[in-house]
Structures are given as C-alpha cells and as structure tokens.
Structure 1
Amino acid sequence: MERITGIMAWPENFLTLLCILFTLIKGYGFRKRGFFTPYSSLILFLVLFALPMDLIPFFNNNFFIYIIMMIIYSLIYTLIFVDYPVYNAIATMISCLFVLTTAKKIIIDLLYIIFSPYFSSSVYNMLFYPLFYIAMAFLSIFYQKHPLKTHFRLPAKYWIMMFSIPILTYLNEHIFKIKPDSIQLSFLILIGIYYLSYVITHTYNQYSDSVLLGQRQALQLEHLERISTMVEQVRHDKHEMKNLFFYLQTELELKQYDELEKFVSRNLAKRYDRLEEFNTGNQFIDYLLTQKVNEAKEHHIMVMADVIIPEKLLVEGNDLCSLIMNLMDNAIDASKKEVDGDIIIQIKVEKNYLCVTVSNKSSVDVLKTNPHLKTSKADAANHGIGMRVIRSIVLKYNGIMQNYMHSGRYVVDIMLELPLPKK
C-alpha cells in the first residue's frame, strides 16, 4: 500500500506545475519561440523543475521552498512563452497556484475526518491523489474558461491586490495554522475574488466594444450628413450652371478677359477647393481622412498628410476607425486653441507594423500641464474615453504608444503589430 501511495505521490509536484503552465497557454495563448511547440516547452520546464530536487535536499520537505519554486518557474515560463501581457497572466498563475494548494489542504482534511476512525493513514493517503488530480483538472478548466483578458491597461493598485491576496491567504493558512473550516472559506474567497475580477474585466471589455461601435456609428451619421450637404450643393450648382454658362458666354463675346479671369479665381477655384479628397489606395483610410481633414478645414486648421499603405490592412475596421478618429479629434480640439493651428498625420506600414503618427502645434508643454492627459471638456465622462480607447487598441494589437513634445509640437506615435496573413 505504501509503495502504491509513493508511486502516486511522486508526480504530484510535476502535475501541479504542468497544470498551471498548461492553463496559462490555453487561457492566454502560446508565443512561439524558435522551434519550441507548446508541448516541447512544457516538457523542457518539467525537466528543469526536476533538477533542483537532487540539488536541494529539503525541496520535497519544505512547503515554502516548494511554493517559491512553483512561482519562479511559472513566472519564467509566462515571460517566455505566454502570448499576453504579463500582469494578466501572472495574476491568473498566482491565483491558480494558491487555489490548488488550498484545495489540496481541504481534501486532506476531509479525508482525515471521514476515514481516520476506520482506516490507516495509507488508505486515505491513497485516495487523496485521485481526488486531488480530479480537482486539479476542474480548476484548470475553470481558469482556462475565465482568463483575465482586457482591452485596456488596469492600474497598478489592482494588480498589487490580485497578487497579494492569494499570498496573504497562504501565509494565513500555513504560518498562523488556521482551522480547517477557515481554509474552506479561504478557498471560496480566492475563487470568488478571481471570478469577480473576470466579470469586471469582461464587462468592461464589452463596454469598450460598445463605445467603439457607437463611435463608428457616429462617424457614419456624420458621413451621411456630409453626403446630404454635398447633394444639396450639387443641386444648387446645377441650378446655377445655366446662368453661369450664359454669363461666361457673354464675357467671352465682349472679350472681357480680365473680368472673366477674376471671376474664375474668385468663385470657381474656391468651389473646387472646398472639399479635399484622398486617394491612398485604401478606401477605408481615404474615407476617414477625407472626413476629418475637411472637418479641420472648417475650423481653419491646415492638415498635412503623408499616407503610404497597402489596399488591404489586417486590422479590424472598428479598431482602425476608432484609432484614427480619436487621434484626429484630439488633434483638432487642441489645434482650435492655437493661432494658425496645424496637424501632420503620417500612416505607413513598416515590416509587420502599422505606424501612425499624429502631431499638432502646441504653444504649451501638454505633458507638463496635463501629464495624465485628462480631458478638459465639460462632458469628461464621455470625452475622456477617447484616450482609453486608443490605449486599448494599442494593447489589443501588442503595439507601442509614445506621446511627447518635439519642437513646439505634441506628437503621438503608435505602432500596431499586424496579424500574419492566413495561408
């Protein structure tokens, strides 16, 4: 019986680590590194995890060392192979580890209470391992189905709480030797806090998506209004065309060429310059830039655009629309406060990244007067969402965002990682 128990106990440490690592890559995705596959990376870390067992004699007998080793190996694996921002994955890893250790203690206590009056310790020890492995499988599925995926950057205080609560619970259980019923309560608290965090992040993601959709609908309505204005202008021009034709014919017959030249430069040239159109090769970008550049011109803001992009971009239309619209809206709002305000926008694809740079003239150092870029508009609850939407899109595409002052201009640089085309 003791030999069977020993055989079943031996892989417990390895299976616990395997459970945590497998949960992370299933919940967040695997980042391919060289020739490593998900399974080969797991085997590598299990082998590396086995090495200290011979080097550190008290490894198997010291639970604190066991926990530290689990955290170190899981953290290294997360940094190398988990394809998601590290804070999210680490929060799941720490919660999963300490929930497993708490579940292990609960199963041991329950088996002891039930079987100790009737059987020897070897019997309920043998029952412990199958029950623990079953619980491990169910907990792994729970964490796989509820990853803390976010389209936005959570504050540092949130992550500190997510990291510290499981650790403090462990200290409370194993250092202060709390009662079994308190351990069960700790298990429920850990699971409950993690699930609550999942609900909060998932709900906010849905809210963020609805904001993006609302912005796109607003842009479409604005486009319809502009089309309606253009149609009315065409009707008006058509009505005037007949009179214009006779006027030009009369001037030509009278050989009033100077008057004719003044008329053309004063009236017709302005009419053609009223609407600027873009032809970058990408119809969606053309539409967005046309809308926003003409909006800027209505406020006497000069816009210079340098756009070189392929016809098709592997970026979702909602994301691209919201990104450019929010960047241009922020630049236009800032330029309204400047004398002779101007905006420069550059969009290009370099290697596997979409690079977007928007800069506007700024007579004050925005990052000194408003380092957190809080909106100055009266309706802060609605208008303040713009920068958060931009950051969420950058995070979604594993991108980089930098904002800085340069030569009297406020500059926003964004790089979005473009998904690889499907073969």
Structure 2
Amino acid sequence: MFDLFHRKRKAADRALAAYQRELIDTHYREVDTMYTKMRMWRHDYRNHIQTLKALAANDDLAGIRDYLDKLDHELIVLDSPIKSGNAMADAILSSKMALAESRGINVHVDAHIPIKLRMSELDLCCILGNLFDNAIEANAGLPPSERMIRVYMDMKGSQLYVSFTNATAAGKQRKEHGRFHTTKRGKDHGFGLLHIDEIVEAAGGYLSRNSEDGAFTTELLLPQE
C-alpha cells in the first residue's frame, strides 16, 4: 500500500513539474515576443528618420503626415497598455488582456508595482498568467454582455495587494477540504491553483479565494524583498 501511494505521489510530482515547465516556457515566449517587437522597432528607428528626412527634402508634407500616422498606429499596437512599473508583469498582463479581449471579455486592469518583491519576477508572472488563464476560462459559456475580468494591483501597507475578479458561469463554488478546485479538465487539472499556492507560501505571502453567484475573486498579499 505504501509503495502504491509513493508511486502515485511521484507520478503526481512529475506531472506537476512538467506542467510548471510548460507554463514557464509559455509565459517566457509571451514576454520575449513583446520585447522582440520592441527591439525590432528600435532597430528600424534610423530607417524611419531617413524616410522622413527624404520626404521633408521633397517638401512632401502630405507624405510626412501619412508616414507619421502609420508610425503612430504601429506604436499603439506595440506599446504595452499596462504600465505597472514592472516590465515583465506588463508584458504578461498585456498579452493575457489581449487574449481575453479577443474572446469578447470586458477587461479592466489597474496595476502598480512600485517595489521589488521577495519572489522572482518569473514567479510573479506565473501567478499573474495562471490567474488570468483561470479567469478567461471561467468566462467561457457566458453571454458577451456578462463576461468580465477586473485586475487591481497596488500597495497595501508594506505589501503588494493583488486582486483578480472574474465573472463565471459555474455559479457559487464550494470548497473541498478547504480548497476551491478549478473547473477545467484534463492533464493540467488543478496544477495552476496548486502552483500559485506554492509560490505564495514560499514567499511568505497571503492568499484568499472567494466564490459568489456569478463571480470569483482571488486576493493576494505579496511581501517586498
């Protein structure tokens, strides 16, 4: 009996480790993609200047205006809509926000991270990415007018306060053995929530989840370095 339990525990640990690696790789790619786009635009900066100079030399005012309009649109697309003070958090929040909006979810993010946290930036991104993924998943099945995600991050005393609230089609959820369980199914079932719990606990933070009819909220307090 002990050997069977031990084997199951090891299998679960391997599955969790594999999920964490996959999650980290996904978040890294999302952040790296945004930085790559920004570096490409900076690389092209000199070419843009040369083009504008050429248009100016030909007194082509209409051409200059048209070119500047195109550059302005490109910057709007590339620029992160989130400016929390933490570049990696901005990248993951912006990426997930765009994903949620593409699925017809009304998203509002108000994020300020003025301190360096006790946890690594990668762990912070794992938390934010997981919370956003769960919130997006919870909105599935709701009519567009009811889809909603609200994110708030700012200081509360000496700690960073994080709040994620999302609409959900699941109704009020009940705890099992003191824990809420994700409604997702498959090989990654429950690993996201477990990963968040482990990161917050290791950093000496605080986590609370609350389920009401039509809404689910996760609140965290994360200590500074």
Could you say which TM-score interval applies, normalised by the shorter chain? 0.5 to 0.7
Alignment of 1:72-151 (within 5 A): none
Shift of 1:304: 2.1
For 2:216, the equivalent position in structure 1 comes to: 411
Shift of 1:286: 2.9
Name the count of aligned residue pairs.
213
| Alignment deviations for residues 183-241 of structure 1 (CA, whole Å, 9 cap, x no partner) | xxxxxxxxx94x98677657745653453233112221233334445566677895798
Greater Cα shift, 385-394 or 230-239: 230-239
Aligned Cα RMSD in Å? 4.4
1:367 paired with 2:177, answer no
For 1:332, the equivalent position in structure 2 comes to: 136
1:291 paired with 2:95, answer yes
For 2:177, the equivalent position in structure 1 comes to: none
Shift of 1:345: 0.8
C-alpha separation in 2, matches of 1:402 and 1:360: 12
* SS of match in other structure, 2:85: coil
For 1:399, the equivalent position in structure 2 comes to: 206
Alignment of 1:107-256 (within 5 A): 193=2, 204-205=12-13, 207-229=15-37, 238=47, 242=51, 246=55, 249-251=59-61
| Alignment deviations for residues 42-93 of structure 1 (CA, whole Å, 9 cap, x no partner) | xxxxxxxxxxxxxxxxxxxxxxxxxxxxxxxxxxxxxxxxxxxxxxxxxxxx
C-alpha separation in 2, matches of 1:352 and 1:202: 38
C-alpha separation in 2, matches of 1:342 and 1:404: 15
| Alignment deviations for residues 242-289 of structure 1 (CA, whole Å, 9 cap, x no partner) | 389739953559xxxxxx6xx699755543322342332334423332
Aligned amino acid, residue 21 of structure 2: L
Higher helix residue share: 1
C-alpha separation in 2, matches of 1:385 and 1:270: 39
Determine which structure has greater relative contact order: mean sequence separation of CA pairs < 8 Å that are 6+ residues apart, divided by chain length: 2
For 2:74, the equivalent position in structure 1 comes to: 271
Gaps of 5+ in 1: 1-191, 254-259
Shift of 1:320: 1.8
* SS of match in other structure, 2:183: coil
**Identity percentage over the alignment?**
20
For 2:117, the equivalent position in structure 1 comes to: 313
| Alignment deviations for residues 134-190 of structure 1 (CA, whole Å, 9 cap, x no partner) | xxxxxxxxxxxxxxxxxxxxxxxxxxxxxxxxxxxxxxxxxxxxxxxxxxxxxxxxx
User: For 1:385, which of 191, 196, 210 is the aligned residue?
Assistant: 191
Shift of 1:414: 2.5
Aligned amino acid, residue 413 of structure 1: T
For residues 416 and 211 of structure 1, do their structure 2 counterparts lie closer, same or farther at Cα, with a shift above 3 Å needed? farther
C-alpha separation in 2, matches of 1:201 and 1:351: 39
Contact 1:283–1:311 under 8 Å retained in 2: no
For 1:4, the equivalent position in structure 2 comes to: none
1:357 paired with 2:163, answer yes
Shift of 1:349: 3.6
C-alpha separation in 2, matches of 1:413 and 1:365: 16
Task: Calculate the TM-score normalised by the size of structure 2.
Answer: 0.66
Contact 2:148–2:166 under 8 Å retained in 1: yes
Contact 1:306–1:345 under 8 Å retained in 2: yes
Task: Calculate the TM-score normalised by the size of structure 1.
Answer: 0.39
For residues 233 and 348 of structure 1, do their structure 2 counterparts lie closer, same or farther at Cα, with a shift above 3 Å needed? closer
For residues 334 and 203 of structure 1, do their structure 2 counterparts lie closer, same or farther at Cα, with a shift above 3 Å needed? closer
Larger radius of gyration, structure 1 or 2? 1
1:344 paired with 2:147, answer no
Aligned amino acid, residue 187 of structure 2: A
Contact 2:34–2:78 under 8 Å retained in 1: no
Aligned amino acid, residue 212 of structure 2: M
C-alpha separation in 2, matches of 1:205 and 1:417: 25
* SS of match in other structure, 1:381: coil
* SS of match in other structure, 1:311: coil
